[in-house]
Structure 1
Amino acid sequence: MKKKFEVWLPLLFSLVMIVGMFIGYKLRGAQPNGGFATSRRSTSLEEALEIIRQKYVDSVRIDTLEANAIREMMNELDPHSVYLPPVDLKEANEELSGKFEGIGVEYNQIRDTVNITFVLKDGPSEKAGLKIGDQIIKVNDSTIAGRKVTSTTVRNLIRGEKGTSVNLQIRRDQQLLTIPVTRNNIPTPTLVASYMINNKAGYIKLDRFGSTTYREFMEAMERLKKQGLTELVLDLRSNGGGYMDQAIDIADEFLDGDKLVVYTEGTNSPKKEYRCKRPGIFETGKLTVLVDELSASASEILSGALQDWDRATIVGRRTFGKGLVQEIFPLSDGSALKLTVSRYYTPLGRSIQRPYNKGKKVYMDDIWERYANGQAYFADSNKVNNGKQYKTPAGRFLYGGGGIMPDIFVGLDTSRTSKEINKLFFNGTFTDFVFHYYLENQQLMDPYSSPISFSEGFDPEKAMWQQFVSRAQKDTINLTYIPEAEKARVANRMEAYLARFKWRDSGYYQVLNLRDSVVLKAVDFLKTK
């Protein structure tokens, strides 16, 4: 009986907490210090907490009960309101801040070994002498080689406060070396690629909207304009959002006058409009925006505003459908509530938010359903009509309630990837093969000055394919009868991975985009517009 009661205790406590919130608290909004104004009267929650502390049969961790109760309470709200423990809050802040404190390497766990795949130029690790291809055996006294350690464990061991030192035991050319590295601030760009596709069209890919995104975007635009940019392909695919103000500032660079970009409104948040404030860097050039089912929140704010004003042509697949605005409210123990405070609406008044009344699981599984029911492949399968039409200044009709539906739909490639190739991708064989090919053949890439010249002069099917077939056979996978079309796709991916080792993400996308159907469709559209 006692064990059963202990199992149900967090749920019972959460129910008490919810009742206490409704009865004892009156939520009055965020204070300057991040707290709330509350009644001085003791609440049911506080009373229940004190009773449990004083009277419960066994000792209990009140902080754990509180955390569990808060999680249960947040589960009763919308899918994007969440409780963030201190460690999760720190990671969330780092992801959007544009920097973190660490040693400046990227690594890949291949089998049970952590391999360094990139060393930041002028970063702590380069200064300490680390190189691409080094294998990390130990971090301080913690052995990580030969063990199934998670990437989170490795990251937590390597990262630390600026100025502190970490000792890495490295295997290099069959030798063991111990290298001390002093941690420092490491930049994390949110703009991962920018280059000229041709003599007119530029390409910019935003990975997320962090605190430095607008600055990075403006620097890229200035650079590309000097190279002749008069048309732009802005890639927001898989961009899950971030800071709304960054998306608004970028929209301002495309829209003229004092046009409305977005407005927000909620039960406890009065309507607030966000309008253009300054002359933009690209108010009249041809513009296409690429989106997919993982483009969400701030990405939908930007693409929705440009679509509503007929400023850009949206290309790709229907976006995620997140039209809720969250704010982070710190709690006294270092945790926080990421709470939805309002909905956002596009300039025409469209709410992009998908329904979530069937629960969080159904809501999140919607993306997988799109792959299963054809919505990721065929435009006609998408249901975004919420019963209300919105007319743009140019006379086009748009709909809300289920994400941004692109003006030009480009479905996923219907040709299926073979189970053999999928297995090589998922078990790490593909990544392992390309990484070691790069380490052993770096001199082959030396003559190439750019990713495009590399793609034009290097033939992965001739140079790498047979070696890849032999490597796959070690995993008892036969690639002899792979169709030519699939072989070409895999070879393109190999080439893109190689380009990334030398030219980073920009090189990766320059090569990958040569065969990307969405990018090719956008470029073709710019030529005909």
Structure 2
Amino acid sequence: MNKNNLPIYLSLATIFGIVIGVLFSGSSNSLSLTGKTSNEAKIKRLIDYIQRDYVDDVNTDELLDGAITQMLGKLDPHSVYIPKENLQQVTENMQGNFVGIGVQFRMIKDTITVIQTIKGGPSIKAGIKAGDRILVADNDTLYGKRLLSGNVPKFLKGKPDTQVNLQVYRKSNDSLFNININRGKVKIKSVDLSYMMTEDLGYIKLNRFARTSYDEFKTALTSLLNKGMKNLILDIRGNGGGFIDIANQIVDEFLEDDKLIVFTKNNKGRVEKSFATSKGDFENGGLYVLIDESSASASEIVAGALQDNDKGVIIGRRSFGKGLVQIEMNLGDGSAVRLTTARYYTPTGRSIQKPYDKNGDENYRRDYANRMRNGELLSKDSIPIVDSLQYSTPKGKIVYGGGGIIPDVFVPIDTTAYLNNFYFRTINNFAFDYVDNDRKSLLKAWTLERFIKDFDVDGSVFNTYISRVMDDQPSYRTRQTIQRYLKASIANELFGDIGFNRIIHQDDKMLQKVLELESTQE
């Protein structure tokens, strides 16, 4: 935004702040600027004055967007404005699907390169394969333009059943061909991975709570039960949340009938409670829930409900600390706001919302850095605890409110597992080239299980990578991390996310802790 427009921006923000109660009261979720009340008329009159009389040309849409954003920022950290150009992507993410051709891609040497085709999507049905380069979409040349990844979807997405003509280069047989693809609904995965870690221990990784998440979770749970699962690891690390009702459905699979899952309280003091039903399929199984500092909102509802009902073991690090409920409200022009309308509480009555300053709090946004600085990510003793916010579960376990879910079993962050951007970039590029040069033969030679067990046991592939990108040998610890990530990245190119995660899991400290706990119970 032009700095010369800042005074107008601040003035509009102030006016919007005054009338927020008017604009969002009542049953309507849309915003009207027709001047039906004195406050709304004041805003409309100001905009008219600016458009007609202001000395410079001003984009009033941009001013309004900025004013709304600043106004919401003075309420709480989670009431946010969603511009109309971003709303579709946000909605797709939460609904669990989008309309497009169904590929995962990466920009490699200025060319859109297919990394994976999405199961059930239009591209896989049309015959697009991993490694294909998309050169042209309809009449738009896409290669050699240094396109940012974020700008690519607009050429490939569209309305349902519309057709896009792609020009594709396939390296495996050195062919250039055109293919027509009908755009369709493509699922956005909520369950990244599910598999049996041991004979009776299953694992499910859930990355969000979208509209489709419960169905995906239920399918994975049923599959693992059919394979003999008795105990489950539910991994919600990095899960930023989503729909509360979906979180409740998932918790219901673990809790007995009529157990309280969560309750919310709005500004009128109205309380709404959610209880478990009789439909749970894993009420008697053993459960481990993995959380970390990025597990937020609906993830914390799940962890808090289970912890407060003495179900399973919560493992990891203190969760993010978001206990505010947002409702999306349409503003009438294709944009929307997500406005905080209630607080949620765990069954024992805990609010896990961490403190924030209504006028903007830089510490809130720098929470991760602060946790690292004060040692909390490395030591359980450094986790802040407020004695006055102490609660007790039915079995007498002490739990705390006031800022996230504190795990039953603490696992420090693994500082040895981090690689800098140089390694990430060069490893990913090497892995792609390695597979791309002989994809067909590699897929024929390796199954996932054999790859996990036997690939590069002599370190020859790793040594080739090191010789190409480094003058000196890395330290032993760094060498181990690089070797693990390189193998995982090659597995990702061949087998997708499941290959990558299965290998990364072999050195996952939280999963190792679960296996340790399992061994003590045998």
TM-score by length of 2: 0.92
Q: Is 2:511 the counterpart of 1:514?
A: no
Q: How many residues align?
A: 514
Shift of 1:440: 2.8
- Residue 49 of structure 2 aligns to which amino acid in structure 1? I
2:459 aligned residue:
462
SS in 1 for 2:427: helix
Instruction: Trace 1:242-391 onto structure 2 (pairs within 5 A).
Output: 242-268=242-268, 270-357=270-357, 359-385=360-386, 387-391=388-392
Q: Is 2:40 the counterpart of 1:41?
A: no
Higher mean C-alpha displacement, 355-364 vs 314-323? 355-364
Q: Do the aligned partners of 1:242 and 1:298 also contact (CA within 8 Å) in 2?
A: yes
Q: Do the aligned partners of 2:431 and 2:493 also contact (CA within 8 Å) in 1?
A: no
2:395 aligned residue:
394
Superimposed CA distance per residue, residues 275-312 of structure 1 (whole angstroms, 9 cap, x where no aligned partner)? 11223111121110001111100000000110111101
SS in 2 for 1:387: helix
Alpha-carbon distance in structure 2 between the residues aligned to 1:302 and 1:424: 37
Change in Cα spacing, 1:503 to 1:175, as seen in structure 2 (3 Å) is closer
Q: Do the aligned partners of 2:100 and 2:183 also contact (CA within 8 Å) in 1?
A: yes
- Residue 505 of structure 1 aligns to which amino acid in structure 2? D
Alpha-carbon distance in structure 2 between the residues aligned to 1:141 and 1:7: 41
Identity among equivalent pairs (%)? 38
Shift of 1:395: 1.3
Instruction: Trace 1:183-222 onto structure 2 (pairs within 5 A).
Output: 183-222=183-222
Superimposed CA distance per residue, residues 336-374 of structure 1 (whole angstroms, 9 cap, x where no aligned partner)? 011111111100111111111172432111112222332
2:488 aligned residue:
496
Alpha-carbon distance in structure 2 between the residues aligned to 1:5 and 1:87: 25
Q: Do the aligned partners of 1:460 and 1:491 also contact (CA within 8 Å) in 2?
A: no
- Residue 451 of structure 2 aligns to which amino acid in structure 1? F
1:17 aligned residue:
16
Shift of 1:455: 1.2
Change in Cα spacing, 1:495 to 1:5, as seen in structure 2 (3 Å) is closer
Q: Is 2:145 the counterpart of 1:153?
A: no
Q: Do the aligned partners of 1:138 and 1:144 also contact (CA within 8 Å) in 2?
A: yes
- Residue 8 of structure 2 aligns to which amino acid in structure 1? L
Alpha-carbon distance in structure 2 between the residues aligned to 1:360 and 1:178: 53
Alpha-carbon distance in structure 2 between the residues aligned to 1:113 and 1:178: 16
SS in 2 for 1:464: helix
Superimposed CA distance per residue, residues 190-245 of structure 1 (whole angstroms, 9 cap, x where no aligned partner)? 01111101111000000111101111111111111111000000000111111111
- Match for residue 28 of structure 1 among 25, 41, 52: 25
Q: Do the aligned partners of 1:29 and 1:36 also contact (CA within 8 Å) in 2?
A: no
- Match for residue 67 of structure 1 among 65, 68, 74: 65
- Residue 248 of structure 2 aligns to which amino acid in structure 1? I
Q: Do the aligned partners of 1:165 and 1:181 also contact (CA within 8 Å) in 2?
A: yes
SS in 2 for 1:377: coil
1:8 aligned residue:
7
Q: Is 2:124 the counterpart of 1:132?
A: no
Alpha-carbon distance in structure 1 between the residues aligned to 2:117 and 2:264: 42
Q: Do the aligned partners of 2:100 and 2:185 also contact (CA within 8 Å) in 1?
A: yes
Q: Do the aligned partners of 1:16 and 1:48 also contact (CA within 8 Å) in 2?
A: no
Q: Is 2:120 the counterpart of 1:119?
A: no
Change in Cα spacing, 1:373 to 1:461, as seen in structure 2 (3 Å) is farther
Q: Is 2:465 the counterpart of 1:485?
A: no
2:95 aligned residue:
97
Alpha-carbon distance in structure 1 between the residues aligned to 2:36 and 2:120: 54
Alpha-carbon distance in structure 1 between the residues aligned to 2:417 and 2:215: 40
Change in Cα spacing, 1:63 to 1:527, as seen in structure 2 (3 Å) is same
- Residue 14 of structure 1 aligns to which amino acid in structure 2? A
SS in 2 for 1:166: strand
- Residue 487 of structure 1 aligns to which amino acid in structure 2? R
- Residue 376 of structure 1 aligns to which amino acid in structure 2? L
Higher mean C-alpha displacement, 234-243 vs 504-513? 504-513
- Residue 17 of structure 1 aligns to which amino acid in structure 2? F
Change in Cα spacing, 1:58 to 1:422, as seen in structure 2 (3 Å) is closer
Q: Do the aligned partners of 1:287 and 1:313 also contact (CA within 8 Å) in 2?
A: yes
Alpha-carbon distance in structure 2 between the residues aligned to 1:15 and 1:461: 66
SS in 2 for 1:204: strand
SS in 1 for 2:377: coil
Change in Cα spacing, 1:298 to 1:122, as seen in structure 2 (3 Å) is closer
Alpha-carbon distance in structure 2 between the residues aligned to 1:415 and 1:5: 48
Q: Is 2:515 the counterpart of 1:523?
A: yes
Q: Do the aligned partners of 2:168 and 2:178 also contact (CA within 8 Å) in 1?
A: yes
1:410 aligned residue:
411
Q: Do the aligned partners of 1:460 and 1:492 also contact (CA within 8 Å) in 2?
A: no
Which consecutive residues of structure 1, in runs of 5 or more, have no partner in the other structure? none
Higher mean C-alpha displacement, 359-368 vs 228-237? 359-368
Alpha-carbon distance in structure 2 between the residues aligned to 1:364 and 1:277: 38
Q: Do the aligned partners of 2:136 and 2:167 also contact (CA within 8 Å) in 1?
A: yes
Shift of 1:38: 11
Alpha-carbon distance in structure 1 between the residues aligned to 2:375 and 2:252: 35
Change in Cα spacing, 1:108 to 1:268, as seen in structure 2 (3 Å) is farther
Q: Do the aligned partners of 2:327 and 2:338 also contact (CA within 8 Å) in 1?
A: yes
Q: Do the aligned partners of 1:27 and 1:38 also contact (CA within 8 Å) in 2?
A: no
Alpha-carbon distance in structure 1 between the residues aligned to 2:422 and 2:59: 46
Q: Do the aligned partners of 1:112 and 1:147 also contact (CA within 8 Å) in 2?
A: yes
TM-score by length of 1: 0.91
Change in Cα spacing, 1:371 to 1:109, as seen in structure 2 (3 Å) is farther
Shift of 1:416: 7.0
Higher mean C-alpha displacement, 35-44 vs 208-217? 35-44
Shift of 1:462: 2.1
Q: Do the aligned partners of 2:363 and 2:370 also contact (CA within 8 Å) in 1?
A: no
Superimposed CA distance per residue, residues 316-352 of structure 1 (whole angstroms, 9 cap, x where no aligned partner)? 1111111111000001101001111111110011111
Superimposed CA distance per residue, residues 142-164 of structure 1 (whole angstroms, 9 cap, x where no aligned partner)? 33333332211012222111122
Shift of 1:36: 8.4
Shift of 1:461: 5.3
Q: Do the aligned partners of 2:137 and 2:156 also contact (CA within 8 Å) in 1?
A: yes
Shift of 1:92: 0.9
Q: Do the aligned partners of 1:28 and 1:36 also contact (CA within 8 Å) in 2?
A: no
Q: Do the aligned partners of 2:288 and 2:514 also contact (CA within 8 Å) in 1?
A: yes
Q: Do the aligned partners of 1:461 and 1:488 also contact (CA within 8 Å) in 2?
A: no
Which consecutive residues of structure 2, in runs of 5 or more, have no partner in the other structure? none
SS in 1 for 2:384: coil
RMSD (Å) for aligned C-alpha atoms: 2.4
SS in 2 for 1:412: coil
Alpha-carbon distance in structure 1 between the residues aligned to 2:168 and 2:323: 47
